């Protein structure tokens, strides 16, 4: 061994640390920062791919891009992401994909293959798919085969359930934002999430109506409920809005975003939720861009 190489090895003590110690260290970095460690040496080239929490922003490549790692990560495209995930052997606890303004027809097939690969080869606990400012593309049905999910965040997707959907038995949080889903599909989805404690619903368009009773019957253990004014366009009061079929005994936090209470039906909507939530502790109201935050002493 050459003396200068031996000297470098003596100074590079971090490379000699066991993998169970290195992985938590790398996990403290952002995915982009962790990827930069691949230039340190051959031994470090793929170590960053073992971290359990991954976050990517997908962008189209341009001819001006360089081959350095920082640029590769900053402008990772769908194909690059697919290759990275194929290299992984460990669990993926959290995966965040931001695909703003990204989509072309060729990308949809590879995106579906990526989700299919995840469902077959990894235990994913938290999945965030953000396709904001894109057209509403259909969510790959393989998402519903990720049976170990505990958190699911979706933005700007059209959602249809596969006929063989068996539910998310471990899901505790669901965020649906700026997408498209029928109320029948929504009820079927929620009814098959028995452990759901947190629901954030910002779906503006739906092809049919749903009553408050129908929705809340699907949320027996809900603790946090956030809905926007757009939901009120299809979530309607029942014929007798003074009572609900169930008591929301677990509900502690209620958030109503961009609400206008000029219409009496929306005031009744709020009152019936409060009345049937004996353990409600906090209410967050965003009314015409004015936020009101209330703490209820019970």
Report the pLDDT value the prediction gives residue 288, as an integer from 0 to 100.
61
Nearest to 117 by CA among 94, 78, 137, 143: 143
Question: Could you give the 3-state DSSP secondary structure of residue 257?
Answer: strand
Q: What is the pTM of this model?
A: 0.80
CB atoms within 10 A of CB 278: 11
> How would residue 292 be classed by pLDDT, with cut points 50, 70 and 90?
low
- 81-127 confidence digits (pLDDT tens): 888 888 776 778 899 998 866 666 667 888 899 999 999 988 899 99
Percent of the chain with pLDDT over 70: 61
Q: Give yes or no for a contact between 149 and 171, defined as CB atoms under 8 angstroms apart.
A: yes
Q: Give yes or no for a contact between 73 and 35, defined as CB atoms under 8 angstroms apart.
A: yes
| Residue spans of alpha helices (H) in 37-104 | 69-74, 78-87
Check whether 168 has a pLDDT greater than 80: yes
Q: Which of 64-68, 103-107, 129-133, 164-168 has the highest mean pLDDT?
A: 164-168
Check whether 59 has a pLDDT greater than 90: no
């Amino acid at each position: 061994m050459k003396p200068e190489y031996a000297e470098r090895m003596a100074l590079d003590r971090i490379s000699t640390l066991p993998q169970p110690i290195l992985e938590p260290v790398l996990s403290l970095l952002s995915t982009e920062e962790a990827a930069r460690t691949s230039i340190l040496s051959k031994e470090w080239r793929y170590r960053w791919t073992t971290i359990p929490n991954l976050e990517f922003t997908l962008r189209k490549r341009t001819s001006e891009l360089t081959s350095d790692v920082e640029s590769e990560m900053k402008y990772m495209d769908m194909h690059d992401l697919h290759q990275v995930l194929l290299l992984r052997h460990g669990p993926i606890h959290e995966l965040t994909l931001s695909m703003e303004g990204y989509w072309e027809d060729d990308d949809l097939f590879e995106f579906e293959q990526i989700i299919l690969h995840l469902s077959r080869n990894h235990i994913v606990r938290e999945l965030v798919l953000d396709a904001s400012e894109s057209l509403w593309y259909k969510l790959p049905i393989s998402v519903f085969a990720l049976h170990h999910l505990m958190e699911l965040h979706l933005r700007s997707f059209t959602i249809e359930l596969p006929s063989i959907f068996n539910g998310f038995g471990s899901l505790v949080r669901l965020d649906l934002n700026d997408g498209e889903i029928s109320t029948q599909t929504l009820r079927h989805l929620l009814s098959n999430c028995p452990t759901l404690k947190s629901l954030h619903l910002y779906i503006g368009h739906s092809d049919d109506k749903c009553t408050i009773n129908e929705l809340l019957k699907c949320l027996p253990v809900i603790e946090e409920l956030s809905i926007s004014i757009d939901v009120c366009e299809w979530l309607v009061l029942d014929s007798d809005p003074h009572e609900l079929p169930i008591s929301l005994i677990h509900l502690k936090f209620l958030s109503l975003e961009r609400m206008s209470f000029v219409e009496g039906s929306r005031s009744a909507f709020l009152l019936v939720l409060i009345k049937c939530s004996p353990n409600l502790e906090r209410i967050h109201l965003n009314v015409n861009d004015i936020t009101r935050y209330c703490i209820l002493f019970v």
